[in-house]
Amino acid sequence: MEAVEGIRIVKMEGSHIKEVARLERECFSTPWHENGLRYELTNPLAAFYVALDPKGRVAGYAGMHNIVGEGYVTNVAVYPSCRRRGIGRALMETLLHFAKENHLRLVTLEVRASNAGAIALYEQLGFVQVGVRPGYYQKPKEDALIMTKDYWHDRAFPEQVHGAEFLTPAQ
Ligand SMILES: CC(C)(COP(=O)(O)OP(=O)(O)OC[C@H]1O[C@@H](n2cnc3c(N)ncnc32)[C@H](O)[C@@H]1OP(=O)(O)O)[C@@H](O)C(=O)NCCC(=O)NCCS
């Protein structure tokens, strides 16, 4: 099925790994390497998808782990030349669909505090900021915002995450 005109979203396969690793190198200062990505192909806790252009080339990818019924987004990235066409949103919606189908209680992720574009995307999809991990990122060092989409309003969740400072409702 085409999520965005000319773009198909499919499960990540071995034939996509090299292109996804290249995308990682292009987008992140501490990229995932081929071996780590390849491991996810057989990881029963992983849900990784790629967006393919009409020629079958990788335009973007997104991945999530199902950890005891909660979805942890590992990454989402789109090639610079393919951005602002709805591909990132379609990839995230695919992860959210997976979360719903698998009855995950919530989906959560970390994002650099300065990454306004990604934060806008997540907010558009109903994620809210629930906390901060001070100095979480390296190269350059930066805080991570913790953003969560909580389907079942489980108020116990924030207290269960270690090493994070959470916002109180008054903040
Ligand atoms: C974040 C990223 C995945 C978004 O991918 P994308 O395909 O360009 O996103 P979409 O076209 O689906 O955007 C959907 C909405 O998100 C918001 N958005 C996305 N990029 C934005 C930007 N650079 N500035 C402001 N808003 C942005 C907009 O609201 C956009 O809707 P609009 O285009 O109708 O205004 C992409 O910019 C990327 O790969 N960045 C580098 C890697 C990265 O930072 N990943 C996130 C790690 S936490």
Which CATH number belongs to the domain containing residue 91 in this structure?
Answer: 3.40.630.30
Last residue of a domain, one of 61, 77, 104: 104
Number of domains in the chain: 2
Catalytic residue among 49, 110, 136, 137: 110
More confident residue, 149 or 152: 149
The pair of three-digit structure tokens given for residue 71, joined into one six-digit string: 């979805």
Tokens at 15, concatenated: 């034939």
> Can you tell me which residue has the tokens 């906390």?
131
Q: Do residues 22 and 66 share a domain?
A: yes
Q: Are residues 166 and 121 in the same domain?
A: yes
Q: pLDDT per residue over 61-70, tens digit each?
A: 999 999 999 9
Query: Tokens 């979805």 sit at which residue?
Result: 71
Which tokens hold the place of 107? Answer: 């989906």
> Based on the domain organization, do 85 and 163 belong to the same domain?
no
Average pLDDT, integer, range 18-32: 97
Predicted model pTM: 0.91
Distance (Å) from CA 137 to ligand 1 centroid: 19
Asked whether residue 117 falls in the same domain as residue 83, the answer is no
160: how many CB neighbours lie within 10 A of its CB? 10
CA of 109 from ligand 1 middle (Å) equals 15
Residue 34 known to be catalytic: no
Q: Return the percentage of the chain with pLDDT > 90, whole number.
A: 84
Rg (CA), the chain: 16
Q: Which of 75, 97, 93 is nearest to 20 (CA)?
A: 75
Domain range for residue 128?
110-171
